Amino acid sequence: MRNGLLGVLAGVLLIAGCSTVVSDAILRYHAAAAEVQLGMERDAVLLMLEPTQATLPLSRRKPPEQFFEVVDGQQRLVEIYFYRSRTNGDGLMTDDEFMPYVFHDGKLAAIGWTAIGGPKTQAQPTPEQHIHIVR
């Protein structure tokens, strides 16, 4: 019984600790993001934003994506970096909790989901429970 209780307590503390780490990263992100401007070099943007996410465990991050696309017969490298910008408190990690930064050939071309077609996953609202006690 005692070991089970200790396990539950450790789990609660771990979840609470992750919540604080995520909240701190989100606050740091918003402070730094205000300085980012379209057209900036990728390395300059990453230098500003990467430290805001440094304390997040890998399980609470979204890895970058990259691909080549052809525009007007020219091939360009597209890189997308995601930064934790909010939490929905539903226990799920969904795309809408991250802000994408889109780089074309090393220059910041877009910030936000509009440029890449919107988030693939979104928070799921939890239904409200209404309990009526009849006496």
- Give the pLDDT confidence score for residue 6 in this predicted structure: 37
Condensed to tens digits (0 to 9), the pLDDT of residues 48-91 reads 999 999 999 999 999 999 999 999 999 999 999 999 999 987 88
**Tokens, residue 20:** 């604080």
The pLDDT assigned to 5 comes to: 39
Q: pLDDT at position 119, please?
A: 85
Looking at residue 84, its pLDDT comes to: 96
Residue 15 has pLDDT above 60, yes or no: no
**CA gyration radius, the chain:** 20
Asked if the model's pLDDT at residue 2 lies above 60, the reply is no
Q: What is the pTM of this model?
A: 0.76
Reported confidence tier of residue 128, pLDDT bands at 50, 70, 90: low
- Mean pLDDT taken over the chain: 84
Residue 132 has pLDDT above 80, yes or no: no
Any bridge partners for residue 74, and if so which?
A: 71
Q: What is the 3-state secondary structure (H, E, C) of 12-33?
A: HHHHHHHHHHHHHHHHHHHHHH
